[in-house]
């Protein structure tokens, strides 16, 4: 836009060409208006130049630098400090960037961005890209929360981190790296868990927008719950390989993260894991469930092995127990091996005597996680990892308080000690059962439920998050979209979809949220029941249940907790209480979630006080039409009949259905028969839960 004006200024500054002289001997024609025209033209040019100078004033130049110094008073020219100061040049770049933001976003939106206070949870793959975008866009204040530290495997896609940052806090390093992009933005880093007590509902209320950049289902649900309680818009995002998704969540306007059920975790029968593995994943799951803390479950049989933790005999004793004695016991069950290959037990001494070369090159083996180790190399890693874990266990026991529980070491895909143990143990067991061994790199992916992350996918999703944030800042939720990134779909790369409406039966967003302040040093449960629920919320004589995360604290038949202090019941600042209307009304209240804030209240006042004025208008639960015989082949939901789709109507698209659309076919869960025990593999932190009681 500035180029045309600059050209005009240059043209205006050029002198007017003089007319050609008349030939000799010929009198020049006299134009009576020539003098008047020339004067007028000169006056217009002068006036135009004056206007240009006022609109685009030339840079201020020190006249003493341009003037010719006299011979008697000649001084050296002083350099311009702005040309040499990097900080000044950075400020100029920031000012230029803000001008471009003003032009592209508009005055109103750019002003909202510069005043916004945002929270970003997670500083990993999406988080690094998102933080860069937020800083360059000019958001005024950005808070980052991440408990994780930087690992070598992060460097291929998390571009704010470098080799020297390994083992350092992601949040703190990301803050330092992003500040260089725009020093005018205030960045506050929290190396902490978003579920910590310090991050209360009141703390969430101070933000304009919250961005989720997490890879953890449990943390996602927590942030979703806190944003709904604080009534702060949340922009949820996630990637899976080449696929990605961005979703705007606003209380009472859109569906929340928990409005739709999530995929069930993978499961394996315990008998397969323990006795008849046939795939590498079976041996890997066995390795994860057989770590040191699991030895406590077989108290007498493994007492000697437990006592040997930290000694030189410990690796051999454990090896012979799980890879020889237990295998021999399995082989003795003849019926089990009629149709499958018998496992071959291994002896520690036999394998170790063949591992002379592997022992000598231990450091080289441990540094090469991409190659599939031999049996002897796996034994070397098995022994070395047990030595490391044993030392850690002894240190934990020494530092343990007598009143605390026994320390344990749990599997973490980023913990090299536990990863080496699981990888080597799984490979040794695979050898026994004739299963292909895997590299440590592959086992890390399988044990940690890792799906390879793509840097480009993270960048696209982070950009979509900021675009949706602009709509949120303008309050234009009607234009906000739930965007799916599906590069291999038949349709298009980006598939925007209208936001879903809240699910009235959702246990998270289908509730009514309120906040109270309580002096926990003297407030009792009876104060909450009488002063808040019955009086302020208008329950009166209605029957209701009051509970927390642990269980029921009060109902008509459960009154012994009423005189107890809230602190004695485990309630603290940031705790949630849930009120469930159990009266026989045709239209009962929806569930009410009470956020308890710890506060110091004058002794003359009641120890529990509401943070709302008057009596809130609590919505009623929606009525559901009864299912009649005519609906035997369909589902009755909110008075609208939805037919079950047949095979010919199955949706083959990549997007989920909306209310009013035909319901998509649900996945059939794999059922176990004969009350078979099941190992459930959760995607949260790589945890394994065994249900075998």
Catalytic residue among 128, 259, 271, 283: 271
**Spatial CA neighbour of 555 closest among 538, 571, 542, 572:** 542
| Stretch (H or E) spanning 553 | strand 552-554
Contact call for residues 110 and 138 (beta carbons, < 8 A): yes
Please report the DSSP string for 590-606 in residue order.
PPEEEEEEE----TTS-
- Tokens standing for 39? 């004067």
At 269 the pLDDT is: 65
SS3 call for 393? helix
State how beta strands 634-637 and 640-643 pair.
antiparallel
CA-CA-CA-CA torsion for 216, 219, 223, 224, nearest 10 degrees? 60
**Spatial CA neighbour of 12 closest among 63, 48, 62:** 48
**Spatial CA neighbour of 208 closest among 100, 122, 134:** 134
At 287 the pLDDT is: 76
Backbone angles phi, psi at 463, to 5 degrees: -65, -40
Written in H, E and C, the secondary structure of 297-363 is HCCCCCHHHHHCCCCCCHHHHHHHHHHHHHHHHHHCCHHHHCCCCCCCCCCHHHHHHCCHHHHHCHH
**Spatial CA neighbour of 482 closest among 217, 145, 257, 297:** 257
Count of helices and strands (H, E) across the chain: 23, 19
Question: Using CA atoms, how far apart are residues 282 and 273, in angstroms rounded to an integer?
Answer: 5
State how beta strands 141-145 and 186-190 pair.
parallel
User: What's the pLDDT tens digit per position in 108-142?
Assistant: 999 999 999 999 999 999 999 999 999 999 998 99
Active site (annotated) includes residue 465? no
Question: Using CA atoms, how far apart are residues 274 and 269, in angstroms rounded to an integer?
Answer: 9
Residue ranges of the chain with per-residue pLDDT less than 50: 1-42, 45, 48, 51-74, 291-299, 627, 629-677, 679-693
Q: For the whole model, what pTM was predicted?
A: 0.63
**Spatial CA neighbour of 194 closest among 235, 236, 172, 224:** 224
| Residue whose structure tokens are 């002003």 | 111
Sign of CA dihedral 624, 250, 193, 294: positive
Paired with 552 in beta bridges are 547
| Stretch (H or E) spanning 494 | strand 494-498
Contact call for residues 174 and 144 (beta carbons, < 8 A): yes
- Tokens standing for 408? 């344990």
- Tokens standing for 113? 């961005």
User: What's the pLDDT tens digit per position in 231-243?
Assistant: 999 999 999 889 9
Contact call for residues 629 and 608 (beta carbons, < 8 A): no
Q: How far is CA 538 from CA 56, 531, 535, 563, in A?
A: 67, 10, 5, 22
Question: Using CA atoms, how far apart are residues 512 and 532, in angstroms rounded to an integer?
Answer: 14
- Tokens standing for 518? 């309580």
State how beta strands 481-485 and 243-249 pair.
antiparallel
In Å, how far from its chain's centre is CA 658?
A: 25
| Stretch (H or E) spanning 364 | helix 362-367
Question: Using CA atoms, how far apart are residues 658 and 637, in angstroms rounded to an integer?
Answer: 13
| Residue whose structure tokens are 């001084």 | 75
Question: Using CA atoms, how far apart are residues 232 and 211, in angstroms rounded to an integer?
Answer: 11
Paired with 120 in beta bridges are 144, 211
Q: How far is CA 260 from CA 621, 635, 668, in A?
A: 19, 17, 16
| Residue whose structure tokens are 């995360």 | 549
At 47 the pLDDT is: 53
Written in H, E and C, the secondary structure of 80-132 is CHHHHCHHHHHHHHHHHHHHHHHHHHCHHHHHHHHHCEEEEECCCHHHHHHHH
Radius of gyration over every alpha carbon of the chain, rounded to an integer in angstroms:
36
Q: How far is CA 397 from CA 158, 412, 559, in A?
A: 36, 20, 42
**Spatial CA neighbour of 120 closest among 131, 136, 112:** 131
**Spatial CA neighbour of 226 closest among 626, 613, 593:** 593
| Residue whose structure tokens are 């949820």 | 236
Residue 479's CB is within 10 A of a number of other CB atoms, namely: 11
| Stretch (H or E) spanning 515 | strand 512-518
Question: Using CA atoms, how far apart are residues 305 and 297, in angstroms rounded to an integer?
Answer: 12
Question: Using CA atoms, how far apart are residues 377 and 365, in angstroms rounded to an integer?
Answer: 7
Backbone angles phi, psi at 185, to 5 degrees: -90, 135
At 174 the pLDDT is: 97
For 484, counting Cβ atoms within 10 Å of its Cβ (0-12 exposed, 13-18 middle, 19+ buried), the class is buried
Contact call for residues 89 and 53 (beta carbons, < 8 A): no
Paired with 635 in beta bridges are 642
């Amino acid at each position: 836009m500035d180029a045309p004006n600059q050209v005009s200024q240059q043209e205006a500054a050029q002198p007017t060409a003089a007319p050609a002289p008349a030939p000799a001997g010929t009198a020049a024609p006299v134009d009576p208006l020539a003098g008047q025209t020339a004067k007028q033209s000169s006056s217009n040019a002068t006036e135009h130049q004056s206007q240009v100078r006022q609109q685009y004033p030339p840079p201020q130049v020190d006249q003493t630098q341009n003037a010719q110094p006299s011979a008697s008073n000649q001084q050296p020219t002083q350099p311009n400090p702005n040309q040499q100061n990097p900080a000044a040049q950075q400020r100029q770049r920031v000012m230029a960037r803000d001008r471009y933001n003003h032009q592209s976003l508009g005055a109103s939106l750019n002003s909202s961005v510069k005043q916004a206070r945002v929270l970003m949870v997670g500083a990993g793959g999406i988080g690094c890209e998102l933080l860069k975008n937020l800083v360059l866009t000019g958001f005024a204040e950005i808070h980052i929360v991440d408990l994780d530290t930087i690992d070598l495997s992060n460097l291929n896609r998390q571009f704010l981190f470098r080799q020297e940052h390994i083992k350092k806090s992601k949040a703190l390093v990301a803050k330092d790296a992003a500040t260089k992009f725009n020093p005018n933005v205030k960045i506050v880093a929290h190396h902490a868990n978003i579920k910590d007590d310090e991050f209360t509902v009141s703390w969430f209320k101070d933000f304009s927008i919250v961005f989720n950049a997490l890879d953890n289902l449990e943390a996602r649900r927590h942030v979703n719950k806190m944003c709904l309680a604080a009534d702060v818009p949340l922009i949820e995002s996630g990637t899976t390989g080449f696929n990605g998704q961005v979703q705007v969540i606003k209380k009472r306007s859109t569906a929340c993260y928990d409005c739709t059920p999530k995929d069930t975790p993978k499961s394996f029968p315990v008998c397969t894991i323990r006795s008849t593995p046939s795939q590498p994943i079976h041996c890997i799951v066995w390795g994860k469930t057989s770590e040191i803390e699991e030895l406590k479950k077989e108290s007498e049989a493994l007492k000697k092995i437990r006592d040997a933790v930290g000694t030189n005999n410990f690796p051999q004793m454990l090896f012979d127990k799980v890879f020889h004695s237990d295998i021999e016991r399995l082989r003795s069950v003849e019926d089990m091996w009629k149709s499958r290959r018998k496992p071959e037990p291994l002896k520690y001494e036999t394998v170790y005597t063949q591992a002379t070369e592997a022992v000598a090159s231990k450091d080289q083996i441990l540094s090469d996680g991409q190659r599939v180790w031999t049996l002897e190399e796996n034994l070397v890693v098995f022994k070395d990892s047990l030595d490391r874990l044993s030392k850690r266990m002894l240190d934990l026991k020494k530092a343990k308080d007598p009143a605390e529980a026994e320390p344990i070491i749990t599997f973490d895909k980023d913990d090299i000690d536990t990863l080496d143990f699981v990888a080597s143990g799984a490979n040794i067991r695979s050898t026994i059962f004739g299963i292909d061994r895997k590299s440590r790199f592959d086992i890390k992916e399988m044990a940690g439920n890792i799906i390879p992350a793509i840097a480009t996918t993270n960048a696209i999703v982070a950009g979509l998050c900021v675009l949706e944030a602009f709509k949120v800042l303008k309050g234009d939720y009607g234009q906000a979209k739930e965007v799916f990134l599906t590069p291999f779909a038949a349709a298009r790369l980006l598939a925007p979809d209208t936001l879903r409406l809240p699910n009235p039966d959702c246990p998270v967003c289908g509730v009514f949220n309120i906040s109270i302040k309580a002096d926990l040093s003297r407030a009792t449960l009876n104060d909450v029941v009488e002063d808040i629920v019955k009086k302020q919320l208008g329950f009166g004589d209605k029957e209701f249940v009051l509970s927390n995360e642990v269980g029921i604290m009060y109902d008509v038949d459960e009154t012994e907790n009423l005189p107890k202090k809230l602190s004695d019941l485990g309630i603290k600042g940031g705790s949630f209480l849930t009120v469930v209307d159990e009266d026989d009304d045709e239209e009962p209240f929806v569930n009410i979630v009470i956020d308890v804030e710890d506060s110091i209240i004058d002794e003359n006042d009641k120890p529990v006080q509401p943070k709302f004025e008057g009596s809130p208008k609590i919505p009623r639960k929606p009525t559901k039409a009864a299912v009649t015989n005519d609906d035997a082949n369909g589902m009755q939901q909110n008075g609208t009949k939805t037919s079950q789709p047949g095979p010919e109507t199955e949706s083959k698209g990549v997007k989920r259905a909306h209310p009013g659309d035909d319901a998509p076919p649900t996945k059939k869960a794999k059922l176990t028969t004969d009350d078979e025990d099941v190992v459930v593999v959760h995607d949260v932190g790589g945890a394994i839960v065994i249900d075998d009681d």
